[in-house]
Structure 1
Amino acid sequence: MALRFERDRPRLRAVAYRILGSLSEADDALQDAWLRADRADTSDVANPSGWLTTVVARVCLNMLRARAGRREDPLDDAAPVPRPGGGSADPEEEAQLADSVGIALLIVLDTLGPAERLAFVLHDMFDVPFDDIAALLGKTPAATRQLASRARRRVRGVPAPEADTPRRRRAVDAYLAATRGGDFDALVSLLHPDVVLRADAAVVPTPEPVVMSGREPVARGAMASMARARSAAVVLVDGVPGIATAAHGRLGVVLRFTFGGDGLITGIDVAAEPERLAALDLTGAGVS
């Protein structure tokens, strides 16, 4: 079993990362899973790889449920994640993993309940049969299919029925690209002269919410969030293109945009307070 675990480690780590959205937590889950596997009687295990996947998934499910009970503050994108024993997850490796999986997908997965997330990841990403997932969740296969189906609809997303949605999506894409690249002039060109930005106190953080107006002050404020933009992606916020960040798999900040008739951005609402984030409907950016 030890040899099988080492052979399967890359796949098991991929399973854990997609379920948890955090590289350090995925590695912790693998360590816990191995301790459980090493203590178990595996003499009658016919499919060791499948059995190990189930063990890892069960550990991850417990971690998701514990996380749901104590929503944590998002971590700084650039800060290494502390590990037991004094080590830390490699921020560059975490960023590469997030890019390979898709930051937008990780953001939407973080809005799902533990059972939905597990059902979707195991079935849609790793071809685990619904019967096996159902046994893990303590549900019927039919109920497990429904969980995966609901998660799939959120991941794909359905845009609001507005004629301007594609144009707004392009503007939001351009906003994110300019912020990531530090292109001040490109960012200014997307903003209305009288644009107003409002941000929760938790965004900076500051004692009071932040309000600024004018395209250059707003653009300078956006430039200050270049590090955060590395973990950001375009998603649908209440059916309308917006931006969300997910440092280490945790939803952190959501930007909602309003537009003028000329297509320029007239308002940016930046939400970071937990109760505001919980009230938003985030789905995959299923618009072209």
Structure 2
Amino acid sequence: MSTTASGPGDDRFDPSLSAIMSERRQLINVAYRLLGSLADAEDVVQETYARWYAMSRQQQEAIESPGAWLTTVAGRICLDLLGSARARREKYVGEWIPEPLPDRTEWISGRPGGTMADPADRVTLDETVSMAFLVVLEAMTPAERVAFVLHDVFRYSFAEVAEIVGRSPAACRQLAFSARRRLRASQTPAIPPARQAGLVRDFKLAWEAKDIDALIGLLAPDATAIADGGGLVDAMLLPVEGGEQIARYLVDIAARAPDLTILERTVNGRPGLVAQQDGVTVLVMAFDVAADRITNLWAVRNPDKLRPWTTG
């Protein structure tokens, strides 16, 4: 941002403005992990900045740590949204899956897969945004999720978390402990990314070939597939259980949509697949893998959640 030194007040204001805006990426990262939706995270950050700029200059200067203030406000907004999300999800058609994130790079070729987003709006891709991780977060209470994400992921103290959650530091410590226990119970041993990429690539080839036996061999016998169409497009309303049942369902999809183009992409920091029809992304698929078998498959078809995957 350019500055114009028209007076002492402006000289003081510009560095402050720069510091405030530099918090944007951190706020996006926090809000996405708390909400599982990039669109909602962007709305939260916009509302947070609106509240900052609604204050007088004197009120702003009285805040010792603007970054901490912004995080506190964003965290409280997220907590409120999480509290109302359960009621909204009851009206949601079918299963709800967190909004998938691209990193705009084909992990098979390293070529850019679209226009780069503003760096200030990009979410850092690591294990804390994997689909498996976000799905576990969805099972937590709002207070557990906020306490765990802010303390364990972003290293805020329990005293700082308490300011956001409205509970004592000791209570927030217990919330994070409970959340940690949920996460440990659901975690599977990690496999090397290259091995997961290979499994997903084999899955893609078997799916394109409509090879049921090959698909069954790649899926765990007790695998689960969940789709999210949001009532806007055709998608299975209930999870499909069992490797053979999933394989037959996928082959049926391939038979009914022969013009699908399936691409290897990074989805939430892990190897995944994207299906396009006439150049438009209609499906984003994320995977969880254990013991060299695919154990979970999440297929997002809701077009509202595929907005970040639109190429231009």
Say yes or no: TM over 0.5: yes
Q: Tell me the equivalent position of 1:106.
A: 134
What's the CA shift for 1:180? 4.5
Look up the match of 1:49.
Answer: 67
Query: What is the root-mean-square deviation in Å for CA atoms of aligned residues?
Result: 4.9
Identity rate of aligned residues, in percent? 30
Alignment correspondent of 2:216: 191
Distance 2:239 2:297 in 1: 19
What does the per-residue CA deviation read over 1:101-148, in whole Å, with 9 as the maximum and x for residues that have no partner?
A: 322212211222211111111111111110111122121111111111
Matched residue type, 1:8: E
Conserved? CA contact 2:223–2:295, under 8 Å = no
Equivalent-residue separation in structure 1 for 2:183 and 2:226 (angstroms): 26
1:229-283, Cα deviation, whole Å (9 max, x unpaired): 74423279xxxx831527499xx9xxxxxxxxxxxxxxxxxxxxxxxxxxxxxxx
Q: Pairwise mapping of residues 34-113 of structure 1 onto structure 2 (< 5 A)?
A: 34-40=49-55, 41-71=59-89, 72-73=92-93, 74=96, 97=123, 100=126, 101-113=129-141
SS of the residue aligned with 1:59?
helix
Give the count of matched residue pairs.
226
- Per the normalisation by structure 1, the TM-score is 0.59
Aligned position for 2:110 = none
Give CA-to-partner distance per residue, 1:62-98, whole Å, 9 cap, x none.
Answer: 22112122113448979xxxxxxxxxxx9986xx858
Task: Provide the C-alpha distance between the structure 2 equivalents of 1:218 and 1:248, rounded to a whole number of angstroms.
Answer: 15
Deviations 1:33-85 (A, max 9, x none): 0111122323321111111111111111122112122113448979xxxxxxx
User: Matches of residues 153-172 of structure 1 in structure 2 within 5 Å?
Assistant: 153-157=181-185
- One of 229, 232, 250 as aligned partner of 2:286: 232
TM-score after normalising by structure 2 = 0.55
Q: Secondary structure at the match of 1:42?
A: helix
Label 1:188 to 1:218 Cα distance change in 2 as closer, same or farther (>3 A): farther
**Could you report, residue by residue, the CA deviation over 1:135-173 in whole angstroms, capped at 9, with x for unpaired residues?**
22121111111111121222233579xxxx99xxxxx99
Deviation, structure 1 residue 210? 8.9
- The verdict on how the C-alpha distance between 1:191 and 1:120 changes in structure 2, with shifts beyond 3 A counting, is same
CA distance in 2, matches of 1:104, 1:209: 15
- Please tell me the residue identity of whatever aligns with 2:82: L
Alpha-carbon offset, residue 27 of structure 1: 0.9
Identify the residue that residue 150 of structure 1 maps to in structure 2.
178
Three-state SS of the structure 1 residue aligned to 2:287 is strand
Unaligned runs of 5+ in 2: 1-15, 101-113, 191-195, 263-272, 276-282, 306-312
CA 1:8–1:39: 2 relative to 1, 3 Å: same
Farther off after superposition, 99-108 or 54-63? 99-108
State the alpha-carbon separation in 2 of the partners of residues 127 and 55 from structure 1.
17
Secondary structure (helix, strand or coil) at the match of 1:128 reads: coil
Cα separation, partners in 2 of 1:11 and 1:207, compared to 1, 3 Å = closer
Q: How far is the alpha carbon of 1:32 from its aligned partner?
A: 0.4
Uncovered stretches (5+) of structure 1, i.e. residues with no partner: 79-89, 167-171, 253-288
1:271 paired residue number? none
Paired AA for residue 22 in structure 1: S
Give the one of 10, 14, 17 matched to 2:32.
17
Aligned to 1:129: 157
